[in-house]
Structure 1
């Protein structure tokens, strides 16, 4: 090879190495920087991640776990939101109507490695906070680390009872969250207030179909079920359908469809169909479970909830459990799910 040609080849090779380094480096730098796309951060529940700088959770009970070094941590929020935070396994702190940069450690933490958990108040009634996670800000020189997080995940599908409405911290004091915590499992509540199982003409959200979605609205993209696999799915639906004119046959057919869809997405999960606390559509719920069992799916089970709570003392309004009621339900579910 002539000297000039060899020189040009060497120059080209150096340039190519530099170009590759330039492309790879920013991606590597993202790990540890506290941005939403930081691969050290763990997300539980369904998060819309289409915008790399702003991850959105709409279903109740979604949360973020961040391991980090240093002595301070700040949360980056967009619009106003009510949220809950816990540092190093401490009590959950309620933060109301916060936005922008939210200082979670006005008193510095000891030097070392720490863990932050964040969960947002779900949409309920007239409340529509901006549940958008834009990452965390850490001390200069600090970075995120992979946190300790459970591999087992339990998913709860339901309505306002599963959301935890009328309990003190809503999703965090609801039976689903409490059950997951007691079992040391990850958990999420795919639930919204007022939901039905069967979609009705008067606008009741039908969880038969919304179970498949990333967010609350029917126009939201379908959820990518490869992002996590639930080991158990607990369904508590039927409290609202009756007041929307859903017939027994419609309810039973919709329940069978939902059970089929859950099984298609979670091939190895145990699916638990709870008897509603108002004892509505009990026959139809049992029949749907039996239909799936007869179709060869032995890991679909009916949960009899007779005597689990007392409406007079364990609910806030005769329907929605109070904190004590949710704790009683969780204790029962822990024994069932194990």
Structure 2
């Protein structure tokens, strides 16, 4: 009886102890379970915001394709990539909370992505992480899953109210710049306007459907396909599949086309080029019935001395006039004459340098603002 009374007294004393003297169990924190395991996100999770063009693997095609995620309480992120990923690596541009992109060379398997912030956030705060394939070749990212730290939670990513569709050739891919699409004028334009952007462009590609500089097809065919022209040399995916434009979310708000240099280089007759362009715009207009189209004229091939060498004189005006004659008054010619000089290009290939692309982006921004489109003040998830 004495022993039983002594034990009861001890229990009573322990119940009077202050809360601070009680150590929580390993799974308790103020009465709530403490997360102990990492969070695995499947590649078909509806909260992953895919942009650009992906096949069913899912695997990226075209420079600038990628995805965005919005994560609550993020502190670590691992990207698990599948066997279709470009070997030995695929160059990815990564941006955390809309900071400037940095390059990460990702390989098949697990890739730990640095997502630490200069200033840690409080509990419940969200972080946006954006991924883009940088290059116009060797640009396959085969997403298998994403692994987040314990306690992290995927929340909806809200897309921008502006969404550009850029269509073109090497001039629109950042051809030979160190960071590819990230340093291209069109991608810079999208970033400046705080917009979503899709780039469907391929170096060496003509508009007319023909073989050109290693491209099996021209853009008048390839634009309507999931795959870029690199499919022809891809042992794991040597075929094309039609692109479902219903997958373009959000719906494009503005369409920009800059093409024709390779047609001229392949000596495509000007009449053939003009007719192909008119037909191409008619097909694209069916996809985007109300959006404004901006058609770039050539800035030409700069020379160290003398004026730029231009191609297809008057052709782009003829294309616009043909569309207007059909009642389409929502297409506009962007006259880029004089935008680029020899100081703005790589001397060995006459394509815009990093500084040249930045100059084009500034000039196009000014053109768009004069037209009536202005950059958004904040990012949609900021």
> TM-score, normalization: structure 2?
0.73
Q: Are the counterparts in 2 of residues 58 and 122 from structure 1 also a CA contact under 8 Å?
A: no
Aligned to 1:100: 109
- Given that residues 61 and 139 in structure 2 are in contact (C-alpha distance below 8 angstroms), is that contact kept between their aligned partners in structure 1? no
Q: Residues 172 and 186 of structure 2 are in contact (CA less than 8 Å); yes or no, is this contact kept in structure 1? A: yes
Q: CA RMSD in A?
A: 2.1
CA distance in 1, matches of 2:65, 2:140: 14
Q: Distance in 2 between matches of 1:97 and 1:226?
A: 29
2:327 matched to which residue of 1? 296
Please point out which of 123, 128, 134 is paired with 1:115. 128
* Structure 2: gaps of 5 or more residues: 1-38, 232-238, 301-309, 374-382
Aligned length: 299
Where do residues 23-62 of structure 1 align in structure 2 (5 Å cutoff)?
Answer: 34-48=41-55, 50-51=56-57, 55-62=58-65
User: In structure 1, what is the equivalent of residue 90 of structure 2?
Assistant: 81
Taking the TM superposition and a 5 Å limit, the aligned residue runs for 1:129-148 are: 129-148=139-158
Deviations 1:189-217 (A, max 9, x none): 10011111112256653111211111124
The answer as to whether partners of 1:197 and 1:207 remain within 8 angstroms in 2 is yes
The whole-number CA distance in structure 2 between the counterparts of 1:201 and 1:221 is: 18
Is the 8 Å Cα contact of residues 62 and 139 (structure 2) preserved in structure 1? Answer: no
Partner of 2:351: 320
TM score, norm. by length of structure 1? 0.82
Q: Which residue of 2 aligns with 1:234?
A: 256
| Kept after mapping to 2: 8 A contact 1:64/1:118 | yes
Separation in 2 of the partners of 1:165 and 1:294? 35
Change (3 A) 1:201 1:101: closer
Greater helix proportion: 1
Residue 303 of structure 2 is matched in structure 1 by: none
Q: Following TM superposition, by how much is the alpha carbon of 1:245 offset from its aligned partner in structure 2, in angstroms?
A: 2.2
Q: Which residue of 1 aligns with 2:223?
A: 211
Hey, which bits of structure 1, 4+ residues long, moved more than 4 A? 106-111, 201-204
Question: Within 2, Cα distance between the matches of 1:249 and 1:271?
Answer: 22
Q: SS of the residue aligned with 2:50?
A: strand
